[in-house]
Every structure is written in structure tokens, then in C-alpha cells.
Amino acid sequence: GKPLFVKHRTAEEIATEKAVPLSELRDPEPDEQRAQRPEWLIVLGVCTHLGCVPIANAGDFGG
């Protein structure tokens, strides 16, 4: 199996993500089209280049 990260996002986190211009995203799709319940973020926790598991709340983008 693969690690699954589940995070309950605050209103501030949701607003911060919505403020990012779509042109800066690799997969430009607004939050409204990606999330039925925007307060929940569910992602696969696998690094794309080595297959390692990232550390939660770390790195340049806060997680």
C-alpha cells in the first residue's frame, strides 16, 4: 500500500491555497473543481523522485 495523508484544513489554509494563481500550478485546476469538501485535504504521501515518504509540515511549502 501507499501512505495516505489526511489533513483538516483551516479557513486560513483554504484561503491561502485559493490565492495561488492557477498559472503557477503544474496541474492548473481550481480548488472548487478538485474538492467536494475543501476543509479536507487527502493526498498520497509518496515522494515523486525516490519513492520516500515526505515528512508532514516540512519543506518550502509547509508540508
Q: Does the pLDDT of residue 59 top 80, yes or no?
A: no
pTM greater than 0.75 (yes/no): no
Q: How far apart, in Å, are the Cα atoms of 30 and each of 3, 18, 22, 36, 50?
A: 25, 7, 7, 12, 28
Residue 54 above 70 pLDDT?
A: yes
Domains of the chain: 1-63 (2.102.10.10)
**Does residue 62 surpass a pLDDT of 70?**
no
Q: Please state the rounded mean pLDDT for residues 3-31.
A: 89
Q: 15 falls in which pLDDT band (50, 70, 90)?
A: very high
With beta carbons less than 8 A apart as the criterion, state whether 14 and 7 touch: no
pLDDT of residue 56: 72
